[in-house]
A = this chain, B = another copy of it.
Amino acid sequence: MNNSQELTPIVRRPLHEEAADRLRDLIVQGRLVAGIRLNERLLTLQLGVSRTPLREAFKVLATEGLVELLPNRGAIVSQMDPVRLAETLAVMGALEALAGEFACMNATEAQINEIRALHYEMLAHHARGDLAGYFKFNQAIHLKIVKYSGNAVLFNAYRQMNGNVRRARYMANLSQERWDAAVREHGAILAALSARDVKRIKGLLSDHLAHKLSSVLADLKTLSTRQAA
């Protein structure tokens, strides 16, 4: 039976999953900002589902760390304070360093070329000074590296933390110097990956994330002093 038309199995996703995805996106994109309350009645109306699947979605997002459940008081979008942000970035650095090693060993040439393509796209946005576009591809590259590590557990942990961190929108004001340096670092990372240089990529990724961390911390400091003033 060589039927040309795909005989794909029918999938009906549970409502709680759909709801969780929608809410997750809203939070990660920053359309639901930290601290605001998630009104059940309102959300049931907006999402068109009843409270049961919605509340199930809350539980999922809570264990992912995106929302906080206050007993008898509902759910709020969890805060991403500087301490937690720094802690998360530190862990992501370690995860990504490990991922780099595995990717060096396990990634196919096609996968590396895919990363290379993303790298050039990123360079294009950097050249044009398009920060938003740059971030998009920067994100994609980092995720792909972890993905191509071939370690699903690693990927899941990383992806979750990445979602948690992204909504902080920390790098709004990245200095040109830091930006240029980051791009150079990315070049070195790609070179190490292409050369399958396990030893080297580990250090490069660790350093890269460490730089990101200190840059973020510096940014946060200026923000907080600016607020104080």
Contact = CB atoms under 8 A, between A and B. Distances in A.
A153 B56 contact: no
Interface stretch (A89-97, A122-130, A137-145, A186-194): A89-97
Interface string A68-109: 010100000000000010011011011101100010000000
A71 B124 CA distance: 44
Contacts of A69: 14
Contacts of A13: 71
A210 to B, nearest CB: 11
Interface string A41-77: 0000000000010011001101111000101000000
B91 A154 contact: yes
State the number of copies, please. Answer: 2
A36 interface: no
A223 interface: no
B12 A84 contact: no
Which residue of A13, A65, A151 has the most chain B CB atoms within 10 A of its CB atom? A151
A217 interface: no
Contacts of A63: 60, 63-64
Which residue of A88, A94, A161 has the most chain B CB atoms within 10 A of its CB atom? A94
A88 B69 CA distance: 28
Given A52-B52, A95-B94, A151 B60 contact: no
A91 B151 contact: yes
A195 interface: no
A152 interface: yes
Nearest to A52: B52
A119 interface: no
A16 interface: yes
Nearest to A51: B52
A157 interface: yes
A151 B95 CA distance: 15
Which residue of A60, A87, A97, A153 has the most chain B CB atoms within 10 A of its CB atom? A153
26 contacts: A13-B71, A16-B59, A55-B56, A56-B56, A56-B59, A59-B59, A60-B62, A60-B63, A63-B64, A84-B152, A87-B151, A87-B152, A87-B154, A88-B153, A90-B98, A90-B102, A90-B154, A91-B95, A91-B98, A91-B153, A91-B157, A93-B98, A94-B94, A94-B98, A95-B95, A157-B161
